[in-house]
Amino acid sequence: MMRLDKYLADMGKGTRQEVKKYIRKGLVTVDGVAVCSPEYKVEPGMEILLDGAPVAYAAQEYYMLYKPAGVVSATEDKRETTVLDLIRDKKRKDLFPVGRLDKDTEGLLLITNDGELAHRLLSPKRHVDKVYYARVDGLVTEATKQAFLEGVNIGSREEPLRTMPARLEILRTGQEGGRPVSHVRLTIREGKFHQVKRMFRSQGMEVLYLKREVMGPLALDESLQPGAYRPLTEEEIKRLKEQ
């Protein structure tokens, strides 16, 4: 059981003060009866309408988002479009991105309000696989693969920061626009700041395009276009929680 005003606020229908005004104006009904007390106790399963529109309760929500370039991985930003701005039909107001992708990076991003799951996926102790497709300015070779497998220093000479072993797959290399360009797939098991870009930079190369394809057991749905999203399936949620 929870207060009616908390129920409505949790479902993103306004701040606690705003929804209290709606309730006191008689705009809210519970099981067909108008309720004017914000303290009225309700629970999931009751029919709750706000100005005639149903307000269904969701304790937890899980969305797979194809993050496009140009959008920031934040819950709010006064100047930039955030990943949460893209989730238009969310019920809850406490959603957040699990981890982050750089503004210019595309790909898979999990949006949820499940803090326990987020902690498990991001914990350095769990070493969850993250797979990226990258287009790199430079010639990636077998020597690059071996260096990544052994771990590379993405810090400085004075303050070294060595990465964990990473798997690098060379998809193709060749000349593009008069310069050598490599298309690769990289699997890392950690998430240091700008890690993929810094790994290639340590080898004298720059990442031109970066897209995250996989996080743990969750793979980006190929039917999604940049900026699109969908709720996770029950099976996907189950696999994530077993991670």
What pTM did the predictor assign? 0.85
With b for 16 or more beta-carbon neighbours within 10 A and e for fewer, the 13-50 pattern comes to bbeeeebbebbeeebbebeeeebeebebebeeeeebeb
Domain with 172, as residue range(s), is 130-215
* pLDDT of the residue at 88: 93
* pLDDT of the residue at 59: 86
Of 179, 192, 227, the residue nearest 83 (C-alpha) = 227
Residues 134 and 195 in one domain: yes
* pLDDT of the residue at 50: 96
Q: How many domains does the chain have?
A: 3
* pLDDT of the residue at 197: 97
* pLDDT of the residue at 179: 95
Residues 129/99, Cβ–Cβ less than 8 Å = no
Helix then strand count (H, E) for the chain reads 6, 15
Q: Is 114 known to be catalytic?
A: no
Which domain-ending residue is among 32, 54, 76? 54
pLDDT > 90: percent of the chain: 89
Residues 17 and 89 in one domain: no
Residue 82's CATH number? 3.30.70.580
Residues 158 and 174 in one domain: yes
* DSSP letter, residue 224: P
Residues 30 and 148 in one domain: no
Per-residue model confidence as pLDDT tens for the chain (243 residues)? 899 999 999 888 999 999 999 999 999 999 999 999 999 999 988 999 999 999 988 889 999 999 999 999 999 999 999 999 999 988 888 999 999 999 999 999 999 999 999 999 998 888 999 999 999 999 999 999 999 999 999 999 999 999 999 999 999 999 999 999 999 999 999 989 999 999 999 999 999 999 999 999 999 999 999 999 999 999 999 999 987
| From 77, 85, 94, 102, active-site residue | 102
In total, the chain counts a number of residues equal to 243
